[in-house]
Amino acid sequence: MKIPLKIQKQAAELRDTINEQNYYYYILNDPQLPDSEYDRLMRELQALEKKYPALITPDSPTQRVGATPLSSFPEVVHAIPMLSLANAFSDKEVQDFDKRARERLARNSIEYAVELKLDGLAISLRYENGLLVTGATRGDGYRGEDVTPNVKTIKTIPLRLRGDDYPRVLEVRGEVFMPTAGFNQANQQKIAAGEKVWANPRNAAAGSLRQLDARRTANRPLRFISYAIGEVVGGKLPNRHSEILQRLQTWGLPISKYSKVVKGIQACLDYYYKILEQRDSLPFEIDGVVYKVNDINLQESLGFSSRAPRWAIAHKFPAQEVLTQIVDIDVQVGRTGALTPVARLAPVNVGGVTVTNATLHNQDEINRKDVRVGDTVIVRRAGDVIPEIVRVLPEKRPKNTHPYVLPNKCPVCGSEVVRIKGEAVARCSGGLFCAAQRKQALQHFASRNAMDINGLGEKLVEQLIDKNLINNIADIYTLTHEQWAGLERMGNKSAVRIMQALEKSKSTTLAHFLYALGIREVGESTARLLAQHFISLEKLMQASETDLVKIPDIGPVAAQSIAAFFKESHNLEIIQRLQAAGVHWSENETTPSKAPTLAGKTFVLTGTLISMPRRTAKARLEALGAKVSSSVSKKTDCVIAGEKAGSKLTKARDLGVKVIDEAEFLALIQFT
């Protein structure tokens, strides 16, 4: 079918506009169009290409999602081997590396490019005449797998280079990785679909990229960062590594904002320790940093040893996955009676922290992993998450071990343990008869986001329950000065202080109070929602399950639990006693007093947020009363800077406007 010239022109213009937008969105993090308009352009191009298939070009933005699944990956021979780097595990090894290089180069000091070592999968991207022709894994360094349809689905990888000054052949190497937030989200989806979860973001990135059906890769939150070049034909590149990376960026390739140029090896070590401190708060996992001699001529003089370049070294961080042994399995009883098995481990250093416990979650998880006392296991600790057992090494299992089964009697109070059909959790049926549940309930009641009773910590709570001074949360306001002063490590002064804190806590908000009651399924945000909806406690207490389920964001399980809680006479008595003791709130103030609403505040979003699309972030802020503006000015109250934030972040800093990162933003919307 002959395609009218007008249509050809229209398709070309759409392609250019969308590619341009991708560059602004993914590389500069400064989108020029609203998402809705971008989607509209994409749909328009898809419609044209559907009508006139001959219009489809390999670099069309519609071609990112692979069409036909492969049966296996074809092999790619790397024009220049993709060698890996030598590793250093101590400062001394790094200093020795620098010494060797300085001696070979006869120099006193070397300029280094320092970069993060992302924990993902090494990939080579081959561009010919600016067009992405091959994406390949490292494989054994000489031959890799052709994963072109898969890499094409990664939105930060340009299908066509920008500009016109790129070499005729340009091979770019870098890391494909999955940011932590995306990894957690993807694993949640896997759990919901009853699939096996990924052990870590590296496996997730590798597993996602090596999908024979590239449509599956397209659904995974993968990213790419360039860190080196391979074959280059028909073009000249700068002769400093740092400048090469800058040049790659001008051609539309993503580079890391954490890279730097430093002088001498001590500055490399300073970089290592600074990044190590930030490691847990980075939005992706890294396993170290890399130092590279920056001058390409010096790199060439140094050359390669048999297996790795002599001009670069990876300085590794303490491992986040290590081997240890399970010494015992204990059971903890939580506030709602939930039994959590905890593995007691032979102490081991994981990611720089000594770990002695790891959660085993529940019986299903224990069965799935077949964890037994005496087993050798891989323990993982990343970010601020609780250490976890990744898997057991069955070949190291001693003889005479037994599968672990949770007890059928509560280890604290001896009550029956019950597990409702379809639920993963087993619970102690003792209720407030169980000292463990009473302790947890009181600790929760006193916690900062509940009644905020300053100074009432775990040790005091234990004494109160163990000495039978308290039976339920309402008793806390009945204790006398003498009773407080008589507790271990308490004197007159401490007793006065805790009584003052108790008095202060009585002035609260309905949301805080509801959260403090510890109703099952009522976390902080549900408590806030209920307070905002009902304004008065009496109205909430009268609400039926049917009334509750009509409230947006309250599901049937929560509705049932809330209605059941307020039907229970024991709970009504506790509420009545708390109010009689002086616990009060104002019905005009439904939101927690410590957490201001965002009414009247102007926010600007810049950069890419990993945890949610920008429009969701905007909607969440607006729901809290904030105004979301697209430009930064002196009137802006706060800029939320996601990954690769660009000119708006610079402007905010210049104007002295408050800047928060994604983690702070998530905390803000959660606690406001």
Annotated catalytic sites, by residue?
117
Sign of the C-alpha dihedral computed for residues 224, 225, 227 and 230 taken in this order: positive
Q: How far is the CB of 154 from ligand I6G (least distance, A)?
A: 17
Q: Which is nearer to ligand I6G, 88 or 595 (CB)?
A: 88
Task: Decide if residue 227 touches ligand I6G (CB under 6 A).
Answer: yes
Task: Decide if residue 312 touches ligand I6G (CB under 6 A).
Answer: yes
Q: How far is the CB of 48 from ligand I6G (least distance, A)?
A: 40
Reported in sequence order, the residue ranges of 284-404 that DSSP labels E, i.e. its strands, are 286-293, 312-316, 321-333, 339-350, 353-359, 376-380, 388-392
* Size of the residue set binding ligand I6G (CB under 6 A): 10
Stretch binding ligand I6G (CB under 6 A), from 114-122, 279-287, 429-437, 454-462: 114-122
Q: How far is the CB of 174 from ligand I6G (least distance, A)?
A: 8
Tokens matching residue 355 = 């770990």
Task: Report d(CA 550, CA 569) in Å as an integer.
Answer: 25
Task: Report d(CA 271, CA 279) in Å as an integer.
Answer: 12
Q: Which is nearer to ligand I6G, 122 or 275 (CB)?
A: 122
Sign of the C-alpha dihedral computed for residues 561, 567, 569 and 575 taken in this order: positive
Q: How far is the CB of 85 from ligand I6G (least distance, A)?
A: 5
Stretch binding ligand I6G (CB under 6 A), from 81-89, 214-222, 471-479, 579-587: 81-89
Task: Decide if residue 84 touches ligand I6G (CB under 6 A).
Answer: yes
Q: How far is the CB of 106 from ligand I6G (least distance, A)?
A: 24
Instruction: Please name which of 152, 295, 292, 168 lies closest in space to residue 227, comparing C-alpha atoms.
Output: 292
Sign of the C-alpha dihedral computed for residues 407, 411, 415 and 420 taken in this order: negative
Question: Under rule CB under 6 A, which residues in 476-535 are in contact with ligand I6G?
Answer: none
Stretch binding ligand I6G (CB under 6 A), from 14-22, 67-75, 83-91, 348-356: 83-91
Q: How far is the CB of 141 from ligand I6G (least distance, A)?
A: 9
Task: Decide if residue 356 touches ligand I6G (CB under 6 A).
Answer: no
Instruction: Please name which of 19, 10, 23 lies closest in space to residue 60, comparing C-alpha atoms.
Output: 19
For 581-631, where are the alpha helices, taking DSSP H only?
A: 614-623
Residues whose CB falls within 8 Å of the CB of residue 517, separated by 6 or more in sequence, listed in order: 445, 473, 565, 571, 574, 575
Q: Which is nearer to ligand I6G, 228 or 451 (CB)?
A: 228
Task: Report d(CA 492, CA 486) in Å as an integer.
Answer: 9
Stretch binding ligand I6G (CB under 6 A), from 56-64, 79-87, 361-369, 617-625: 79-87
Task: Decide if residue 83 touches ligand I6G (CB under 6 A).
Answer: yes
Q: Which is nearer to ligand I6G, 312 or 638 (CB)?
A: 312
Q: Which is nearer to ligand I6G, 138 or 361 (CB)?
A: 138
Sign of the C-alpha dihedral computed for residues 294, 300, 305 and 307 taken in this order: positive
Q: What is the per-residue binding string for ligand I6G in 178-217, x denoting contact by CB under 6 A?
A: ----------------------------------------
Q: How far is the CB of 226 from ligand I6G (least distance, A)?
A: 9
Task: Report d(CA 162, CA 549) in Å as an integer.
Answer: 53
Q: Which is nearer to ligand I6G, 14 or 85 (CB)?
A: 85
**Amino acid, res. 408:** N
Beta-ladder partners of 388: 359, 380
Q: Which is nearer to ligand I6G, 115 or 452 (CB)?
A: 115
**180 torsion bin: left (phi>0), alpha (psi -120 to 50), beta (else):** alpha
What count of residues does the chain have? 672
Contact 410, 333 (CB under 8 A): yes
The number of C-alpha atoms within 13 Å of 614 and in the hemisphere containing its C-beta is 23
Please give the C-alpha separations between residue 435 and each of 111, 281, 463, in angstroms, as whole numbers.
Answer: 63, 37, 11
Q: How far is the CB of 123 from ligand I6G (least distance, A)?
A: 11
Total Cβ atoms within 10 A of residue 612: 18
Task: Report d(CA 529, CA 539) in Å as an integer.
Answer: 14
Q: How far is the CB of 220 from ligand I6G (least distance, A)?
A: 21
Task: Decide if residue 147 touches ligand I6G (CB under 6 A).
Answer: no
Distance of CA 407 to the CA centre of its chain: 34
Distance of CA 364 to the CA centre of its chain: 25
Q: Considering only residues 49, 111, 115, 287, which one is a binding residue for ligand I6G as defined by CB under 6 A?
A: 115
Q: Which is nearer to ligand I6G, 232 or 641 (CB)?
A: 232
Tokens matching residue 469 = 């001074």
Q: What is the per-residue binding string for ligand I6G in 360-399, x denoting contact by CB under 6 A?
A: ----------------------------------------
Tokens matching residue 75 = 């092999």
Starting at the earlier edge strand, list the strands of the sheet with 602-606.
627-629, 602-606, 638-641, 658-661
Task: Decide if residue 275 touches ligand I6G (CB under 6 A).
Answer: no
Largest CA distance in the chain: 96
Task: Report d(CA 150, CA 141) in Å as an integer.
Answer: 19
Task: Decide if residue 122 touches ligand I6G (CB under 6 A).
Answer: yes
Stretch binding ligand I6G (CB under 6 A), from 10-18, 115-123, 142-150, 268-276: 115-123
Task: Decide if residue 113 touches ligand I6G (CB under 6 A).
Answer: no
Q: How far is the CB of 117 from ligand I6G (least distance, A)?
A: 5
Tokens matching residue 615 = 């429009």
**Amino acid, res. 17:** T
Q: Which is nearer to ligand I6G, 112 or 127 (CB)?
A: 112
Stretch binding ligand I6G (CB under 6 A), from 52-60, 77-85, 417-425, 488-496: 77-85
**337 torsion bin: left (phi>0), alpha (psi -120 to 50), beta (else):** left
Q: How far is the CB of 202 from ligand I6G (least distance, A)?
A: 12
Q: What is the per-residue binding string for ligand I6G in 290-309, x denoting contact by CB under 6 A?
A: x-------------------
Q: Which is nearer to ligand I6G, 287 or 321 (CB)?
A: 287
Q: How far is the CB of 600 from ligand I6G (least distance, A)?
A: 45
Task: Report d(CA 565, CA 520) in Å as an integer.
Answer: 8
Q: Considering only residues 15, 78, 117, 223, which one is a binding residue for ligand I6G as defined by CB under 6 A?
A: 117
Q: How far is the CB of 115 from ligand I6G (least distance, A)?
A: 4
For 473-555, where are the alpha helices, taking DSSP H only?
A: 481-485, 492-505, 510-516, 524-534, 537-542, 545-549
Q: Which is nearer to ligand I6G, 248 or 465 (CB)?
A: 248
Q: Which is nearer to ligand I6G, 83 or 541 (CB)?
A: 83
Stretch binding ligand I6G (CB under 6 A), from 78-86, 381-389, 477-485, 502-510: 78-86
Task: Decide if residue 232 touches ligand I6G (CB under 6 A).
Answer: no
Q: Considering only residues 27, 48, 85, 578, which one is a binding residue for ligand I6G as defined by CB under 6 A?
A: 85
Q: Which is nearer to ligand I6G, 158 or 174 (CB)?
A: 174
Task: Decide if residue 245 touches ligand I6G (CB under 6 A).
Answer: no
Q: What are phi and psi of 486, to 5 degrees?
A: -80, -5
Positions in the binding site for ligand I6G (CB under 6 A): 83-85, 115, 117, 122, 227-228, 290, 312
